[in-house]
Structure 1
Amino acid sequence: MNYKILVDSCCDLPEEYRKQPHFIVVPLTIDLGGKTYVDDENLDVSEYLRKMKETPKAPQTACPSPEDYMKHFDGDEENIFIVTLSDQLSGSYNSAVLAKNLYNDENPNNNKHITIFNSFSASSAEVLIALKVEALAKAGESTESIDKKVNEYIDGMNTYFVLESLDNLRKNGRLNNVQALIANVLNIKPIMGANKDGTIKKLDQGRGIKKALNRMAEIIGEEGQQLSEKICVIAQCNCPERAKEFKEEILKRYSFKDVIIVSTAGISTTYAYDGGIVVAV
């Protein structure tokens, strides 16, 4: 199959996949303290994280424009698959849909098959979806089969995350100052998850990061099915050792097909913040 896979930059693809010609990352942008950052390979994530800590206001993100997607539609590839952030978190999905419609209007005789997958999640979940698309395309599945199987795959996925710091939630108003203060004083770490519609829910909490991560590992088992047939992706924000320890912990409990650790790029770093762990199964 002749294909390309477009992902927005909240998809924290491992470096070896980013180098493959059929993967294209379409960047979002971030406004922080009056400066605009493009979430691409040139972004110094460590420097961005430092600036985010120093800036009193929360960063503002902007999705790719339809034109940012459309410019990648030209070429010999007849099959284009796009994976985006949840439409509840960003306009990236809607922008990709508009790009497809505009392209088809402007090129009525084109032979492109363009499919857009709403991840209903972010970060590590987008990685799983992109890898699933690639596996099916390499196996020679038809476009109709890929569309069907990937949407079924998305329906069966679960995303979880634990935040080390609640500072960004306080800055953007999702937690008031009193709530954030109490959580910090008591060292409470929320365990969050994604609803099937792409919104965020609180699952539980732990006193301290270690207890919270252990509880998240338990929840993976409680909610997961046929884990031995699944890949788990762990996205870490500036805490590679913590991610390795969490990988070891879940492998003590469950037998996954594979467990992949990735580093957060700019958008996922904005959400996860320093020390955050985002897991998709």
Structure 2
Amino acid sequence: MRIGIVIDSACDLPADFIEREQITILPVTVQIGQAVLADMRNEEATLNFLTGDTAAQAYNADTTPYTVQQVHDLFLSKLVLDYDYVFCITTTRSRSGIHDNAVQASYTILNEYRPARQAAGNNTPFSLRVIDSQNVFSAVGVLAVEAARLRAAGEGAPKIRARLENLALHTQGYMVPPDLHYLRNRIKKRGDKSVSFLSATLGTALDIKPILHCNRGETGPVGKIKGFEPAAEKLFDYAGKRVRAGLMTPTMGLSFGGELEGMRALPGYQRLIDTCAEHNVEVFESVMGLSGMVNVGKGALVIGFAAENAPFA
């Protein structure tokens, strides 16, 4: 059975991994003023786009996920021909409309795929499953990496599906945003009230940086540290502690809202990398996707892994 993997562009994974595993991307289109770019996880294009006046207006960006029709057309023109079963892994539905769009499209895809496959000389059934990662950014990538590993090991679609759906419940995403005012303005634009004006003002005045946690689609603060670098170090050290305690998959996802050298220069980064190497955990580093960067701000740090939920300490 030919198994395909689809992600949306807010799933943070390295470009070489996406290319090697032939993962298909559902892009999110970002518009800032008159500037428009479809986020196809091109790191250079992302960093070039968020410069000058465009970067200064990023808080007011409009993001548009692939529509139901666009998902439908992509599957019927390509994916139903290339694969027999496709896993579409999306950013949590609580933060993005791409999950619901993909689910709606799946109904018509499964009703209409036969003529396209028959025209290509294939009369076997086609199936797809939309998986809500219940997480964001590099934490979504944890599921995609596991899907690729299981596929490479020759596992069948039912076992991969069960594994991914269970893993989604235990995937942990953590983020340190660099600018609470920016984050507040973005989530207010999206109708989210998880960061209040008071906390944003207080945090900026005192240089307090929250450490935000996402699991099962719910996001909230688990810590507050004075200064971005100390907050990043705290998060790196916590992730290292979780690695030593044992993860559910040998995967650590890191994403950063800028050049990766900026992340690698942060205190605590190398300790985490060394800990992962000691415990045979593979690290996947990537520049945050464009849609993610405009939503949480340039310079944000995100860590994702799969493990039982545990207090942040």
The answer, yes or no, to whether TM exceeds 0.5 is yes
Q: List aligned pairs for 1:121-270, cutoff 5 A.
A: 121-172=135-186, 173=188, 174=193, 175=195, 179-196=199-216, 198-220=217-239, 225-227=245-247, 230-244=250-264, 245=266, 246-251=268-273, 255-270=279-294
In the TM superposition, residue 168 of structure 1 has moved relative to its aligned partner by 2.4
Gap runs ≥5 in structure 1: none
Q: Answer whether contact 2:9 2:39 (CA < 8 A) is retained.
A: yes
1:279 and 2:298 are equivalent in the alignment = no
Contact 2:58 2:294 in 1 (8 A): no
* 1:228–1:256 contact (8 Å) kept in structure 2: no
Moved more, 174-183 or 269-278: 174-183
| TM-score calculated relative to the size of structure 1 | 0.88
- The answer to whether 1:9 aligns with 2:15 is no
- In the alignment, what sits opposite 1:44? 45
Which of the two has greater helix per residue? 2
Helix, strand or coil at the partner of 1:204: strand
Please report how far the alpha carbon of residue 181 of structure 1 lies from its aligned counterpart in structure 2 after TM superposition.
3.6
Equivalent residue for 2:66, pick from 64, 69, 81: 64
AA matched with 2:50: L
Report the more deviating stretch, 80-89 or 15-24. Answer: 15-24
Deviation at 1:157, TM superposition (A): 1.5
CA contact (8 A) 1:85 1:119 kept: yes
In structure 2, what residue type is equivalent to 1:48? F
TM-score (norm 2): 0.80
Q: What is the percentage of aligned positions where both structures have the same residue?
A: 19
Can you give the 5+ residue segments of structure 2 that lack an aligned partner in the other structure? 116-123, 306-313
1:78-97 Cα deviation digits (max 9, x unpaired): 01111111000011111111
Pick closer, same or farther for the CA change 1:229–1:178 going to 2, 3 Å.
closer
Of the three residues 134, 141, 148, the one matched with 1:120 is: 134
In structure 2, the CA distance between the partners of 1:20 and 1:228, relative to structure 1 (3 Å rule), is closer
Aligned to 1:106: 112
Please tell me the root mean square deviation across aligned C-alpha atoms, in Å: 2.6
- Rounded to whole Å, the distance in 2 between the matches of 1:28 and 1:182 is 33
State the 1:52 CA deviation.
Answer: 4.8
The count of residues paired between Structure 1 and Structure 2 equals 280
Shift of 1:178: 5.4
Offset of residue 68 of structure 1: 2.3
1:12 shift after superposition? 2.2
Q: In 2, Cα distance between the equivalents of 1:156 and 1:130? A: 14
Given that 2:90 and 2:140 are in contact with CA atoms closer than 8 Å, whether structure 1 keeps it comes out as yes
Secondary structure, in 3 states, of the residue corresponding to 1:232? Answer: strand
Letter of the structure 2 residue corresponding to residue 3 of structure 1:
I
State the match for 1:84 in structure 2.
90
